[in-house]
Structure 1
Amino acid sequence: MTQFAGGEEGREGLFTSLKNLVATLLAIGKTRAELLVTELEEEKFRLMSLWAKAIGAAFLLALGVVMFVCCIALAFWEQRVVVFGIFAVLFVGSGFLLVRSLQRQASQPSKMFKASLSELEADMAQLRRYRDRPE
């Protein structure tokens, strides 16, 4: 009769262990999901800030360049066609250089979710060590 009671206690211990394991795994998953959401929000705000600054800078630079070209054209009124032609070549060349730079940057891998992925790798390594340890 005591063996039966001990068997019941063993089952209860097993179910308690299993429940604790599931609770731990859920807690780990929740923590990782929260980390991912935080990283997404940070990246969103960073990108929005970058876009706002880039658009503002592009607008002001374009306005400044147009004003500069007009001033040069007024200063050399007799050769205004040559002045506009030279600046057109400079603008198109600069545009092509920027496109090449964008292509190079777009081809590089993103570092987004790097912290989350490293945490998940650490979790997986810890679970493997726990699974593979001798008992």
Structure 2
Amino acid sequence: MPAPGDSTGGLRVASIRRVHGGSGPRLPLYLSRVAAGFPSPADDYVERSLDLSEALVEDEEATFYVRVAGDSMIGAGIHDGDILVVDRSVEPEEGDVVIAALGGELTVKRYEVRGGRPCLVPEAEGHDPIPVREGEELIVWGVARHVVHEIS
């Protein structure tokens, strides 16, 4: 449930960081994929090295990271404490997960259009959609492209 005075439906942006691509460590990327079903023998060779920024960031100048606080997007696989990779250069389309400012508060929600008006939709029980009312200013900061979270 939202915290008192939290009009964003319980999921907030905890922190924002700018992307500095190419400066991270390059780690081995194995050629063979890991089976999620039946195990297969592992290959002993590395395809190449991988900088995660290269894999996750399409437009470095327009990309930033945010840490999520809250649980209203759990149905989209976004958990409390996760890091989202957000691209400001992508024009939001219906169904995208966006970082948006509404009423001066940042939130992470699915962007939909209902009755010709934008609506920010959570993906967890107990959280209501947030319609953007006449006169309210909705600013979409960017579209979430990837989520990084710890496996529990």
Relative to its length, the structure with more strand (as a share) is: 2
Larger Rg: 1
TM-score, normalised to structure 2's length?
A: 0.21
Relative to its length, the structure with more helix (as a share) is: 1
TM-score, normalised to structure 1's length?
A: 0.23
